[in-house]
Chain A
Amino acid sequence: MATGHVTKRAKYKTTIKDPGTPGTLRMNLEKILFVPHNPKSAIKLDVEFRYIKGQKHTKEGSNKPPWLNLTNNQNGSFIFEFENYSDLQGCRDFVGKVLAKSGEVSEKSSVAYPDEQLSAAEMEIRIKLLQEDSELQKLHKQFVLSGVLTEAEFWATRKKLQDREASKKKKQRLGFKSAMISDIKPSADGRTNKVTFNLTPEIILQIFAEKPAVHRAFLSYVPNKMSERNFWTKYFRAEYLHSTKNSIAAAAEAAEDEELAVFLKQDDILASEARRKIRRVDPTLDMEADEGDDYTHLPDHGLFRDGNKGMEESQNELYKRTLSQDINRHAAVVLEGRAVDLELEDTKAVAEALAQSKRESSNKGESDGDTTRERLDRLSRMTEIEDLQGSNTLPLAPLCIKDPRDYFDSQQANALGTSGDELSGTEQIKCSLSIPEVYGSLRASISSIKAMGLNEPIVKPEVAHQVFDALTYSISNTKHNIGKNSQESVLDRLPRKTKEDLLHHWTSILELLKHFWASYPITTSYLYAKVNRLKDAMSNIYPQLEELKGSVPSELRNQVSLLVRPMHQALDAAIQHYEASMQKRSTQSGEKPNGYV
């Protein structure tokens, strides 16, 4: 509908069972208004589209009356019953249009920066990051949407986050199913004695991956020698023969039909692959791996039952295949993973894609000569020369996990105190006497003690009392301030909202300071404008901190002001720097009239 509003007659129902209040439904781009026909009725609805989350409606073909159900943010719903389905359709389209548009609008406001070309993928990453991290979202809202920082600047420091998010987006490749395909049951038609197999490209891919001889046969026979349908018929015939375990019949049929023979024989590609793999086994893992270990393609794993060497069935041995072989081959293929990623429609494409990937992987592997040389090299490096090695016992120091509170709580007082101490600590002790005189005076003190004995009393009672009081007071004070529980920090004792506000102030101050200090030295007018904006934002924080301090109960106010003090100091330092640089500019700009900014 091209118009910006819709007016229809409808009945408003609060629940499904409600008979509904007849009235008029008016929808424009901003809101929905429902006015009942009966002015005395109390039901009137005025809802903004901002709160509407989605819509549902009854289907036209069903026997239900035409209902439109609009769900809002708080999971409530408004149900409207229309007179006919065309009305419903019209309303539905309108609502859909408005919802789509409102979804766009919120994104658009964050995109409109002409100096930044963003791909849709990057926008998605940013939106996802904002949705996941509420702290980031708060910062974003505070600074970018109020114009203090631009979008580009905000995200410039968070490249790592974006990259990490982007790399997560790679989808996982689906592997093969663990169920073996020989379990795929054909549908048997009891009447005509026909058996129908359903083959999907997925299954075909798996068959080709597990039986490379079949793959080779497919590539060579189809479509030259036989049609695909024939190929698969023969394949399944072979499977059937295998499953009956009738090796004599299998041999007979193989003798007749050479193509069938291919399916019935042992897979020679597998055999050669296995041999090659054995040769490439890392000698540091297993120096004795040799061809005797290559048994997975042999029936019964090369083990002969009843102790005999199996001479009798030698000519039919080729046509036997055991369950363990099948299972092992299947497991090996599943673990190797999927070589072909794409969705393929037909068999030919599947076969070719698989062949392609196999060629690539064989090109990547090194030639045999290289591998042997590399193996020998590794071998020589890994062989341990025992008498050259030192003892293995490492002197371990036990892990000592200190209480971090000790460090951080004590640093606070230290940071305020040391700057004063620095200067006075290096003062010389002024000594007016010469060395022999000093020693003499010390010795004189000792003699006086010897003569007179110790002081009587050692310490005056009132002095002792004072000392005792002071000590008790300070010990109990620190205990009270720092808290009894070592896990507790001073932040935990504040009310939750205060704690969150404090932490949020810290992160926002850090963000502002980061951008502020990065903009110096100011070389372009862009930076100049940016610094001004940041300075304004920083000045706005001071009253917020005062308010925070005021909102806390009085016994915690001291703690909070101690926590707020470093924030003040950091902001003060930044603003001082700003003012100093402004002053310098204004004095300089007098000297440089040629427009140097």
Chain B
Amino acid sequence: MASAPSKLYADDVSLVVVLLDTNLFFWSSSSVSFSQFLSQVLAFLNAILTLNQLNQVVVIATGYNSCDYIFDSALDLNRGIENGRMPAMSSSLLQKLEKFLIKDEQLSKEEPEGRIKSSLFSGSLSMSLCYMQRVFRSGALHPHPRILCLQGSPDGPEQYVAIMNAIFSAQRSKVPIDSCYIGAQNSAFLQQASYITGGVHHKPQNLDGLFQYLMTIFATDLHSRSFIHLPKSVGVDFRASCFCHKNTIDMGYICSVCLSIFCKHQKKCSTCGSVFGQAQSEVASASDKKRKTPET
């Protein structure tokens, strides 16, 4: 578990970057409606902000064609219209979300049939990591950040490489990635992300009580995780996608130089350009030729 570096100034302060899945295709066919989901999430975000005066929340929307920052509690000082029916910060968030959806619709183009309708998870993950880098380098005192992914869309295997790179850089900067998956099947990417970075992964059984799940599991700050028991993942699906066709594979070929994964035997690695060996006899004759270089 990532323990706080020296920039932490109080134990239980958290900076949470929430990646909200706004993939329209998922929401239109899911059992829980988007408005229900959104209201629970808004209540949850407000609750985090009330846990500690110094807590910060940043929300990034993961759309189908693009991703964007929706909300940043540090910047949102203008408390908006308080109308007694929702928390003050929500109105600006909702406005920005609407604008984001309009923009996203404008970017959409005709897609060929048969493609898995996944959201741009890799994009929002990278954006959140960039935000954290900015915070790290700002020099100001800040709590140790973590990422919370609220995903429902299935995994897009074409994003495998980008997501794995993002996960490894999160691991390097010691940022845990928590994930809450509300879709039907299991998401291998989210499981791997939480496993590698030391975060918590959970797939709620009862989506009506999503708020309760969020409060019990994902509101815990990093310091308290050392003594609060959180649900452990039963299994992690470590399957990868091949680099050539982006299919999910269990068994494949791996380049021994750069560890890129291929589903079929290839002559040359497309990532690092190393030539793969062929039959044994050819390799031996090649090395013999090398030894007879003339002496200078």
Contacts and interface: CB of A to CB of B under 8 A. Distances in A.
* B partners with A: yes
Nearest to A441: B28
Interface string B100-126: 011011001000001011000000000
Contacts of B236: 407, 410-411, 414
Minimum-distance CB pairs A-B, first 8: A453-B85, A414-B235, A467-B209, A445-B35, A413-B235, A463-B209, A467-B212, A454-B39
Contacts of A406: 195
B117 A429 contact: yes
Interface stretch (B7-15, B52-60, B226-234): B226-234
Nearest to B108: A435
B136 interface: no
A411 B235 contact: yes
Contacts of A441: 24, 28
Given A453-B85, A460-B208, A439 B235 contact: no
B101 A439 contact: yes
A446 B101 CA distance: 10
A410 B201 CA distance: 13
A383 interface: no
Contacts of B151: none
Interface stretch (A419-427, A511-519, A559-567): A419-427
28 contacts: A411-B235, A418-B237, A421-B186, A424-B185, A425-B186, A425-B248, A428-B114, A429-B29, A429-B117, A430-B29, A433-B28, A435-B108, A439-B24, A441-B24, A441-B28, A443-B101, A446-B34, A449-B94, A450-B86, A454-B86, A459-B209, A459-B210, A471-B216, A471-B231, A475-B231, A475-B232, A478-B232, A478-B234
Contacts of B105: 435-436, 439
Nearest to B153: A429
B70 to A, nearest CB: 11
Contacts of B248: 425
B266 interface: no
Contact of A450 (B29, B34, B91): B91
A382 interface: no
Nearest to B231: A475
B33 interface: yes
Given A439-B24, A471-B213, 7 more contacts: A410-B235, A439-B101, A439-B102, A446-B34, A455-B40, A459-B210, A464-B209
Given A411-B235, A442-B22, A442-B27, A455 B39 contact: yes
Contact of B85 (A430, A448, A452): A452
Contacts of B234: 410, 413-414, 478
A429 B186 contact: no
A545 B245 CA distance: 44
A454 B42 contact: yes
Nearest to A407: B236
Interface string A440-483: 01110111111011110011100110111011001100110010
A464 B215 CA distance: 10
Nearest to B36: A455
B35, B91, B211, B213 pick with most chain A CB within 10 angstroms: B35
Given A433-B28, A467-B213, A448 B40 contact: no
Contacts of A413: 234-235
B192 to A, nearest CB: 12
B154 interface: yes
B209 A466 contact: yes
Contacts of A443: 98, 101-102
A410 B211 contact: no
Contacts of A190: none
Contacts of B206: 463, 466-467, 470
Contacts of B233: 410
B262 interface: no
Contacts of A474: 231
Majority DSSP secondary structure for residues of A touching B: helix
A446 B38 contact: yes
Contacts of B108: 435
B212 A438 contact: no
A407 B87 CA distance: 42
A100 interface: no
Contacts of B42: 449, 454
B208 A459 contact: yes
A220 interface: no
Given A442-B34, A448-B35, A454-B39, A468 B212 contact: yes
B148 to A, nearest CB: 17
Contact of A459 (B94, B186, B211, B239): B211
A90 B87 CA distance: 109
A445 B34 contact: yes
B134 to A, nearest CB: 23
Contact of B43 (A411, A417, A458, A468): A458
B94 A446 contact: yes
Contacts of B83: 453
A158 B118 CA distance: 51
A431 interface: yes
B69 interface: no
Nearest to A476: B229
A64 to B, nearest CB: 73
A431 B26 CA distance: 9
A459 B212 contact: yes
A75 B134 CA distance: 79
Contacts of B276: none
B142 to A, nearest CB: 23
Given A468-B216, A478-B232, A426 B94 contact: no
Contact of A475 (B101, B229, B235, B239): B229
B94 A431 contact: no
A200 interface: no
B205 interface: yes
A428, A447, A482 pick with most chain B CB within 10 angstroms: A428
Contacts of B208: 459-460, 463
Nearest to B229: A475
Contacts of A478: 231-232, 234
Given A438-B28, A453-B83, A475-B229, A458 B186 contact: no
A458 B39 CA distance: 8
